[in-house]
Structure 1
Amino acid sequence: MNAKAKAIVLFGHGARDVRWREPFDRLASLWKAQHPNVLVELAFLELMQPSLEEAIGSHITAGAMEVVVVPVFFGQGGHLRNDFPVLLSACREKFPNIQLSATPAVGEDEVVLQAIIEFSARAL
């Protein structure tokens, strides 16, 4: 399997204000610069496009056979505990030939939490 057969979906909540998306666009751009052989798409739970299903479909169209969804949420609130599993299950049913997995919320990772501490310490 070549590197292009793997893909990442950076999955966020979404917001009415289009400017809320700007850090996600920067995150996707940084991913592309650092991992040019792995496809990346943004997806949103609500209020913004593309949806999770649309992002995964885009990866499949581009040839991905393995897609990892990374919830760019600070923690496992109701959306990740209730809504996200339903969406992920629906995508697994719609795309049965694709290996589809998900990570925990990024905010639960010790390295991410440490980066927030370091960011905060620079403010002192």
Structure 2
Amino acid sequence: MRALLIVDHGSRRAEANQVLVAVEAMLRAEGTFPIVHHAHMELAGPTIAEAFDRCVGDGATEIVVHPYFLGPGNHSRTDIPALVEAASQAHPQVRWRVTEPLGVHPKLCEIVLERAASEPAER
């Protein structure tokens, strides 16, 4: 069974971490993946190892890890894959891969334009 694990940086601010909780709930409700969990790379829990374990505990045999980052920086290209590799050692029977981050995509442009049009100017 496939699982989706979304990973952000993590923050000391609880309200910032709640964003990924909300995204997880939306992705779960959408239904493409039967298992959806989130993790924070650092500064908050659940960790990548904890979330990987949760996916396996829910029956995952394949885990697709998505870095919830805009660009392909060190965290999405190096740190997250290394942390997933370490987490996978406890579950050698589970296949996994790390996707590209959000990156450049027309749908992101739509969101930026929508936000720019709807938010009142401040000053």
Q: TM-score, normalised by structure 2?
A: 0.83
The residue number in structure 1 matching 2:85 is: 89
Distance across 2 between alignment mates of 1:91 and 1:113: 34
Q: Aligned partners of 1:6 and 1:82: how far apart in 2?
A: 23
Structure 1 unaligned blocks of 5 or more: none
The residue aligned with 2:75 is 79
Q: Which runs of 5+ in 2 are unaligned?
A: none
Residue type of the partner of 1:92?
S
| Shift in Å, 1:22 | 1.9
The 3-state SS of whatever aligns with 1:79 is: helix
Distance 2:103 2:115 in 1: 14
More helix by share: 1
Residue 9 of structure 1: aligned partner: 5
SS of equivalent to 1:94: coil
How many residues align? The count is: 120
Among residues 105, 112, 117, which one is paired with 2:108 in the alignment? 112
CA contact (8 A) 1:65 1:97 kept: yes
Asked if the contact 2:4–2:33 (Cα under 8 Å) also holds between the matched residues in 1, the reply is: no
**Superposition RMSD in Å:** 2.0
Q: Give the Cα–Cα distance (whole angstroms) in 1 for the partners of residues 110 and 90 of structure 2.
A: 37
Equivalences for residues 16-95 of structure 1 within 5 A: 16-35=12-31, 38-95=34-91
Amino acid at match of 2:20: F
Does 2:94 match 1:98?
yes
Question: Compared with structure 1, are the counterparts of its residues 56 and 108 closer, same or farther at alpha carbon in structure 2 (3 Å cutoff)?
Answer: farther
Mapped to 2, the partners of 1:85 and 1:6 lie a distance apart of 18
Q: 1:38 to 1:74 in 2, by over 3 A?
A: same
CA distance change for structure 1 residues 122 and 21 in 2, over 3 Å: closer, same or farther?
same
Label 1:52 to 1:121 Cα distance change in 2 as closer, same or farther (>3 A). same
In structure 1, how many angstroms separate the alpha carbons of the residues matched to 2:61 and 2:13?
33
